Amino acid sequence: MGSSKLNVEIDAVDGKARATTITTQRGTIQTPVFMPVGTRGAVKTLDTADMENLDTQILLANTYHMMERPGSELVQKLGGLHGFMDWQGHTLTDSGGYQIFSLEPKITEHGARFRSVYDGSYVDLSPERSVEVQQQLGADIAMVLDVCPPLPSTDQLVRDAMERTLRWAERSKQAHSLSSQAQFGIVQGGANIDMRAESAQKTVEIGFDGYAIGGLSVGESRDSAIPAMAAALAELPTDQPRYFMGLGDPVGLVEAVYHGIDMFDCVLPTRLARHGTALSSQGRLNLRNLVFAEDDGPIDPEFDHPMSARYSRAYLRHLLVTKEPTAGRILTLHNLAWLADLTSRMRTAIVEQDFDALRRKVWQQWEPSEANVQDL
């Protein structure tokens, strides 16, 4: 079932991996694509010009946090997220569901009730309110409100959450009225393969502009996450975007693309950066370590990017140990540029029918102890 709000051209496939061009009313997005997370309308330590210089295609903002501060009505008054941030690229807003579930909410059929992280007052978020807030924020892509069961959960709890997510998805679709905004459904079902397939089938029956796999990168093992993801993907249409929520580690990304995912987001690269860890062709580098104190080399010798190549590991270690905020900013720019380069290399590898070689290389760089036991 196609959609008038998004058009997906499949530019190349290599196995199940796909390179696509998603056309929206704002422009185009080439996939695979990593979406940096700007929770409160900014990627931590960066500004809009930084995101432009990184050629960022799409940014994610958080519905719950923007609803609380400064308030979605104010953002709407000041031109929506694009006007408020002075950002011309694409935006995606999550529904607020994932954040809420860390606040131990009271869940009823109506929605979720929880205490604000800002002032402790009670906040009610229903599927309809989440849609209203996201329409006020004016994102290009909005997510339905879903129920994220905690890990571990019984099969019954997972089923209850999956079925409620479907009922909420129906209500979200009914409430959605902004013609310029695409709306994505979310597949739940924990690590249960049958429930993932059922959730995907029924979410597609409701009919959305794209589909996301939620509740999978929340601490379960890769061995249980990948079959659940694959079961959902088998039921999703090929002519619409597929989004894996909350995924940001390099091995996870190549595995997701290998199975047919187009889009992903995660706070991991920016959070690691603020704590002194760089993504690199040598795996994770904790630049606080003493071994880098006199290292005059660039962050990643294999990655020739202006921000990454300019400063030595020794200089960055000095900034980190003296708690200079500039360190977090440089490393955030590096990590986002590095991940954008990885997704670009994945796209090229799909076009050139050479994805397996790249997948193998990423495994060997990031999880060498497991690379030879995987079916690569």
For every residue of 299-329, DSSP letters joined together read S-TT---HHHHHSBHHHHHHHHHTT-HHHHH
Looking at the DSSP bridge assignments, the partners of residue 265 are 35
Decide if 19 contacts 351 (C-beta within 8 A).
Answer: yes
The sign one gets for the Cα dihedral 301, 306, 307, 312 is positive
* Backbone phi and psi for residue 336, each to the nearest 5 degrees, phi listed first: -70, -40
Classify each residue of 14-28 as buried b or exposed e, where b means 16 or more C-beta atoms within 10 Å of its C-beta.
beebbbbebebeeee
Residue 371: its pLDDT value, please? 67
Neighbours of 96 (CB within 10 A): 25
Domain boundaries, the chain: 8-266, 272-369
Task: Look up 94 and say whether it is catalytic.
Answer: yes
Cα separation, 162 vs 130, whole angstroms: 18
Integer CA distances (angstroms), 353 to 10, 235, 345, 350, in order:
14, 24, 12, 5
pTM: 0.96
How confident is the model at residue 170, as a pLDDT?
A: 98
Q: What is the mean pLDDT of each run of 10 residues along the chain (376 residues)?
A: 78 98 97 97 97 97 95 98 98 86 89 93 95 98 93 93 97 98 97 97 98 88 93 98 96 97 97 98 97 98 91 98 98 98 98 98 92 59
Assign 38 to helix, strand or coil: coil
Q: Compute, in degrees rounded to 10, the torsion defined by CA atoms 244, 214, 217, 63.
A: 90
Q: Which of 140, 249, 262, 265 is catalytic?
A: 265
Residue 341 annotated among the catalytic residues of the structure? no
The one catalytic residue in 94, 146, 262, 300 is 94
Helix (H) / strand (E) element for 294: namely none
* pLDDT number for residue 40: 95
- CA–CA distance, 13 with 29 (Å, rounded to integer): 17
Q: Which amino acid is at 204?
A: V
Residue 300 φ then ψ, to 5°: -135, 105
Q: What is the pLDDT of residue 306?
A: 87
Pairing of the two strands 210-213 and 112-115? unpaired
- Give residue 151's pLDDT: 79
State the Cα–Cα distance between residues 269 and 150, nearest whole angstrom.
Answer: 23
CATH class of 8-266: alpha beta
